[in-house]
Chain A
Amino acid sequence: MGDSKYAYPTGALRAKENTIIDRHKINSLADAENEYALLNLLRETIYGDFITEETTPSSFENILSLTFQRECNFIKEITPEPNITNLFFLKYDFFNAKALMKSSILDVQTENLYKDIGLISIDDLKSYINEESKPKLNNALKETLDSIIKDKKNINLFEIETRLDKSYLHYALEQSDHYLLLKDFHKSWIDLTNICSFLRFKLDSDEIELFKYSFVYGGYLEKSVFLNLWKEEMLKSSDFSNRYKSLIETALEEYQKEKTLEIMEKGKDNFLLKKLQNAKYLSFAPEPFYAFLLARENEIKILRILFVGMINKMSREKIRKMLRVSYV
């Protein structure tokens, strides 16, 4: 059996990978005269299936989410090892859990504010959070939700969200233990998340306690590295790790000039996508399926930047500066 279970799915995936928008196409999309021209150019891609004559640029979120949902369903159908691709979809269960938890605490009704890409239905998740029934949930999600429900009266919204996010990252890392590429990806994700949190809390608000709470264990960088750097007046890229040196260097330079961490976030996205680009060369493994999903998610982010930028008349320079690299 072994490799044969990958034969059809890998072939189908390779065919699907050809529909990912490459950097040349992204350049031509970025050169579009305005949002209407961008929408017209997008008709030629897989997103065109959801663009009708009546579609306007302001409904771009709808086009992007419908396309992404279709791509996710495709992967759910063909994936030979759902335990790995499910890691990707689980992220959306955690997201929905955060939204539902928040609505429950604030006692507000929030319809249409969930993502239908997860593994568990919104209704099941809602009934679990409201303690009405006990549907089967992922263990990590269940444990975190139980602990939050138990401490509900003593914790704030920041703590609730952070607990859920941290729990997801821990679980994803734990599950990818036998897949070197994914393990490295998740470790880097945790590191870069910690670096971003560190810079956000240190440079913008100087709140060490919040950083300590947000710190996610499991990455290559220890917590002590960050805590030792907290008192430093001038941060240097070499203070963190050579692994992320050039990324942090650019981000710090940009922060000095513009007082923004946008470049750090862009660098983080690009770094993580590049990590998974090597999955393209694996033929009989689950990693390419995960990488495809991430690539599509990244593509959607690029398109969102283009639409938001053009609709709101951002400068071309600014839009290009925010664009992420393409998977292909």
Chain B
Amino acid sequence: MEIKVSPNRMVLLQLKKQLSMAIRGHKLLKDKQDELMRKFISFIQNYRSRREAIDEMLAEGYRKFLGARAIMSRIELFNATEALPNQIEIKTDEIRIMNTRVPVIELVSMKSHKNYSTITTSASLDASLKDFSEILPVIIKLAELEKRIEILAIELERTRRRVNALEYVLIPTLEDTIHEISMKLGENERATLTRLMKIKDIVRRH
């Protein structure tokens, strides 16, 4: 594919400048893509290990909760857990990874009060609620990672599209156009030279 331009030296110079910038941009974007991919993979690995840990913790918490459910009726259990959870303070911020803004979510404090009497409730309820409150900070971290992964995935896709556009469209087009203009200018030069030689020959004969 070529760009429709008038084949002159001015345009050639402009196109050459554009090509060198496109090559430089391509290199930068390629580096950005590589670094984003490296970060993305490390987040994914981190996410997987945390997710597995959370699944185990949740299974354990639910196992204990089931123990309480087997002892207490639905109404008793609902009344005991009615006012849960307690006060949670979360701080959110943003950091930049390769100029991409990703969130930082931090659990500042978590005050847990017992909101039910221990006289008429099962100890398994304490144990399961304790497990669930221990899971909460990990879940918050997991949410942060999930959001970061989502943002990085979008950014990666965008960068990949840019890199491909430069690599497979803009740079080849510029190179083709430059080549075409160079050929045209060369041909013009040769035509002028031939014309001059012919004129010189006619002048010499007369």
* Chain A partners chain B: yes
Chain A interfacial positions (CB closer than 8 Å to B): 61, 64-65, 95, 98-99, 102-103, 106, 108, 110, 112-115, 156-158, 161-162, 164-166, 169, 193, 196-197, 199-201, 204-205, 210, 214, 216, 259-262, 264-265, 301, 304-305, 308-309, 312, 314, 322
Hey, which chain A residues are within 8 Å of B79, CB to CB? 95, 98-99, 102, 110, 113
* Other-chain contact of B69, A110, A115, A200, A308 (Cβ < 8 Å): A308
| Given known A-B contacts A165-B117, A197-B118, A199-B123, A114 and B75 have beta carbons under 8 A apart | yes
Is B70 within 8 A of A309, CB to CB? yes
A301 touches B117 (CB 8 A): no
Known: A200-B126, A322-B67. A158 touches B114 (CB 8 A): yes
A200 touches B123 (CB 8 A): yes
Closest to B122 in A: A265
Taking a contact as CB atoms under 8 Å apart, the answer to whether A204 and B119 are in contact is: no
Chain B residues with Cβ below 8 Å from A106 are 82-83
Choose one: A157, A162, A205; the contact of B119 (CB below 8 Å). A162
Contacts known (A158-B116, A214-B117, A304-B73); A262 close to B124, Cβ less than 8 A: yes
Q: Contact: B117 with A102, CB < 8 Å?
A: no
Query: What are 12 residue pairs bridging A and B, where the CB atoms are less than 8 Å apart in the complex?
Result: A157-B113, A157-B115, A162-B117, A162-B118, A196-B118, A204-B127, A205-B126, A210-B114, A259-B127, A260-B64, A304-B71, A305-B70
Q: Closest CB-CB distance, A253 to chain B, in whole Å?
A: 16
A157 touches B116 (CB 8 A): yes
Interface string of B54-84 (1 = CB under 8 A from A): 0000000000101101110111101100110
- Which residues of chain B come closer than 8 Å to A64, judged between CB atoms? 73
Report if B120 contacts A (CB, 8 A): yes
Q: Does B51 contact A (CB under 8 A)?
A: no
Distance in angstroms between the alpha carbons of A255 and B114 in the assembled complex: 21
The verdict on B48 contacting chain A, using a C-beta distance below 8 Å, is no
Closest to A197 in B: B118
Q: Which residue of B lies closest to A105 (CB)?
A: B83
Say yes or no: is B130 at the interface (Cβ < 8 Å to chain A).
Answer: yes
- Please determine whether B113 and A156 come into contact, CB atoms closer than 8 angstroms: yes
Cβ B70 vs Cβ A322 within 8 A: yes
Chain A: which residue is nearest B130 at the CB level?
A204
Q: Please give me the residue from chain A that is nearest to B112 by CB atom.
A: A205
Q: Taking CB as reference atom, which chain B residue is nearest A161?
A: B117
Assess whether A193 is in contact with B130, with CB atoms less than 8 Å apart.
Answer: no
Provide the residues of chain B in CB contact with A196, threshold 8 Å: 118, 123
- Determine the residue in chain A with the shortest Cβ distance to B120: A165
* Chain B neighbourhood of A161, CB < 8 A: 115-117, 119-120
- Closest B residue to A108 using CB positions: B82
- Taking each of B82, B115, B117, B126, which has the highest tally of chain A beta carbons within 10 Å of its own beta carbon? B117
Most buried by B among A65, A106, A158: A158
Interface centre among B114, B119, B120, B124 (most CB of A within 10 A): B119
Would you call A102 and B83 a contact (CB within 8 A)? yes
Note all chain B residues with C-beta closer than 8 A to A264: 123
Cα of A204 to Cα of B112 in the assembled complex, Å? 14
Q: Tell me if B119 and A166 are in contact (CB < 8 A).
A: yes
Chain B 168-201 residues near chain A, CB threshold 8 A: none
- Report the nearest B residue to A115, measured CB to CB: B75
Task: Knowing A304-B70, A308-B69 are in contact, say whether A158-B126 is a contact too (CB < 8 A).
Answer: no
